[in-house]
Structure 1
Amino acid sequence: MRRDIEFKTEDGITLRGWLYPAQGVTGPAPTVVMAHGFSAVKEMYLDDFAAHFAANGLACLVYDHRNLGASDGTPRGHIDPQGQISGYRDAITFAGSLVEVDAGRIGIWGSSYSGGHVLVVAAIDRRVKCVVSQVPLVAGLENARRLIRADHWVGLRGNFDADRQARYAGDPPGRIPVTAPEGEPCALPTADTWAFFQGYRAQHPVTTWVNEVTVHSIELFTEYEPGAYIPRISPTPLLMVVARDDHLTPADMTTAAYETAHEPKQVLILPCGHFDAYTGAMFEMSAPVQTAWFKRWL
């Protein structure tokens, strides 16, 4: 039975989430630290992954990033990859303090934007003994160029500059929807992004997810290059889960980045799009492989 947890970051922000005890384990257990992707909150199917891992003997610590969901932090909806990376490392520290957790057997899991974060954390924090990166962002600028029309870049850069000047003058940060109907400005301009978030909100009318992020979050996205850390992950074992038909974090970019990793490594390619990886048949295909990877190395 999961329980609510909260912990402080090094800079004093309270992050909140759940701890799933490992089932069938006596004493401190191998543990997976998990968080969601760009703007998403833990209720968006991370509970399914955590419950599956826990049922197979892995404790799970699942939390919301700062400025999102149940966690504290302002500006709300501001997504700073470096702050979220630091949050993962604080979560590892907190997990290691719990009696249910074997501090020497901690793995990390991330998906989409946080799939990029775990690549960075695994490369720089040797407390991490195993990593699963699902449909990850690997190259922010190139990914943004795939999503944003070339003739829109000048205007986008102008918006970044104007927002920076406004914030310097003391104004609140500019904001933009995470997703919107086709043709309307938003952070993630793909039809399946709109379908995923709207579909979730229709099924879960009470949610902490908010369809809005800061403009600065988009600027930081374009400057973020987690794939550069992949060659440094070894000897920490890496499992990368790729969605073959992904056009939000394109599969060709992800598989090319995977080739730069050293052993031990494994890739799982799912016959689906980006958001299909969280649910249904693709979850049933992927979750056991991910569980086996964690159990093998933790």
Structure 2
Amino acid sequence: MTRRDIEFDAEGTTLRGWFYPAEGTSSAAPVIVMAHGLSAVKEMYLDRYAEAFSQAGLGALVFDNRNFGASDGEPRQEIDPVQQVRDYRHAITYAIGLPEVDRNRVGVWGSSYSGGHALVLGAIDQRVKAVVSQVPLVSGYENIRSLVRSDLIGGFRDMFDADREARFRGEAPQTVPAVSEDPAGPAAMPTPDSYQWFTETHELRAPSWRNEITLRSVEMLREYEPDSYVHRISPTPLLVLVAENDVLTPTELALATYQKAREPKKLVILPGGHFDAYTKGFDASMVPARDWFLEHLQP
């Protein structure tokens, strides 16, 4: 398996990542376009998925979201979900221009925040012929309501407004931790498993990850509703992978969104929590995704 570094233009911003050619074929092959979730960088196990897809005869293009990791973009550590969806579309445009890729066999894979992006892409980009959405964020509004005590939400709104005015004056964006050791502390992902996974994975695999995002990123998260797109994905085949005990992107929210999707679709319940899919539950999450793409992207 020989991956290569790639970069491509996203309307003036250079995004960087890896391309994994499909193994075992000399002809143009399907391609899976992949990016990570909230604040994460590509080294946080996306290489494992891409390698597995490549070994199965599927090309894989993995990239860092703008403002994160190896990709350019300002302000650093800011997450605009609508822009991230557009960047997936730039990545697709780049991928289908590669000689190793069959432009008519494109799949998208996303996980957590980008699992929501995969749902939106399946609905709006007709070049996408198969979708895999793993432990997805389906509603920013409902997700925040499930994680933040209701009596604290008003304080967040005041912070958003103050940050907007400060940025208007030319001041630097306010930031908040992505994760916190104290579940009651300020953090975009205030769950113990989030803190454990991000800090351990940072030490093991991803030195470029930084434990901060802009406050405005949380405001944009609250505005983002992939659920509103899901009924439009059909007839593109959709696989949704939901963790049975997901406390970060709650299981019940993802299951309700899956019910709104039309056929063809498939649901797989993964053992464990949100982050187990990347580690001890890797085979449980990778194999159904790989097989879904092979089923729906083969000539």
TM range (shorter): over 0.9
Aligned to 2:200: 199
Structure 2 counterpart of 1:211, one-letter code = N
Aligned to 1:5: 6
Aligned to 2:291: 292
Q: Deviations over 1:173-225 (max 9, x none)?
A: 11111011122211110000000011112324x61111110000000000000
**Separation in 2 of the partners of 1:126 and 1:202?**
39
Please give the residue correspondences for 1:64-83 in structure 2 after superposition, counting only pairs within 5 Å: 64-83=64-83
Aligned to 2:44: 44
**Separation in 2 of the partners of 1:118 and 1:154?**
31
Kindly state the Cα deviation for residue 286 of structure 1 after the two structures are TM-superposed. Answer: 2.1
**Separation in 2 of the partners of 1:61 and 1:249?**
25
Kindly state the Cα deviation for residue 271 of structure 1 after the two structures are TM-superposed. Answer: 1.6
Aligned to 1:283: 282
Count residues in correspondence. Answer: 295
Q: TM-score, normalised by structure 1?
A: 0.98
Please give the residue correspondences for 1:76-115 in structure 2 after superposition, counting only pairs within 5 Å: 76-115=76-115
2:261 pairs with 1:256: no
Kindly state the Cα deviation for residue 60 of structure 1 after the two structures are TM-superposed. Answer: 0.1
**Separation in 1 of the partners of 2:95 and 2:68?**
20
Kindly state the Cα deviation for residue 232 of structure 1 after the two structures are TM-superposed. Answer: 0.1
Please give the residue correspondences for 1:140-179 in structure 2 after superposition, counting only pairs within 5 Å: 140-179=140-179
**Separation in 2 of the partners of 1:171 and 1:55?**
48
Structure 2 counterpart of 1:30, one-letter code = P
**Separation in 2 of the partners of 1:217 and 1:194?**
18
**Separation in 2 of the partners of 1:171 and 1:285?**
46
Aligned to 2:14: 14
Over the residues paired in the alignment, what is the CA RMSD in angstroms? 0.8
2:40 pairs with 1:60: no
Structure 1 counterpart of 2:294, one-letter code = K
Unaligned runs of 5+ in 1: none
Aligned to 1:220: 220
Q: Secondary structure at the match of 2:109?
A: strand
**Residues 277 and 284 of structure 2 are in contact (CA less than 8 Å); yes or no, is this contact kept in structure 1?**
no
Structure 2 counterpart of 1:191, one-letter code = P
Please give the residue correspondences for 1:256-275 in structure 2 after superposition, counting only pairs within 5 Å: 256-275=256-275
**Separation in 1 of the partners of 2:5 and 2:244?**
35
**Separation in 2 of the partners of 1:4 and 1:54?**
15
**Separation in 2 of the partners of 1:29 and 1:86?**
24
**Separation in 1 of the partners of 2:149 and 2:248?**
14
Structure 2 counterpart of 1:186, one-letter code = A
**Separation in 1 of the partners of 2:72 and 2:94?**
16
Q: Secondary structure at the match of 1:259?
A: helix
Aligned to 2:122: 122
2:225 pairs with 1:232: no
**Separation in 2 of the partners of 1:216 and 1:72?**
19
**Residues 36 and 110 of structure 2 are in contact (CA less than 8 Å); yes or no, is this contact kept in structure 1?**
yes
Q: TM-score, normalised by structure 2?
A: 0.97
**Separation in 1 of the partners of 2:217 and 2:202?**
22
Q: Secondary structure at the match of 2:260?
A: coil
**Separation in 1 of the partners of 2:72 and 2:283?**
33
**Separation in 2 of the partners of 1:236 and 1:140?**
24
Unaligned runs of 5+ in 2: none
Structure 1 counterpart of 2:20, one-letter code = Y
Kindly state the Cα deviation for residue 27 of structure 1 after the two structures are TM-superposed. Answer: 1.2
**Separation in 1 of the partners of 2:117 and 2:56?**
25
Kindly state the Cα deviation for residue 87 of structure 1 after the two structures are TM-superposed. Answer: 0.3
Q: Secondary structure at the match of 1:218?
A: helix
Q: Secondary structure at the match of 1:153?
A: helix
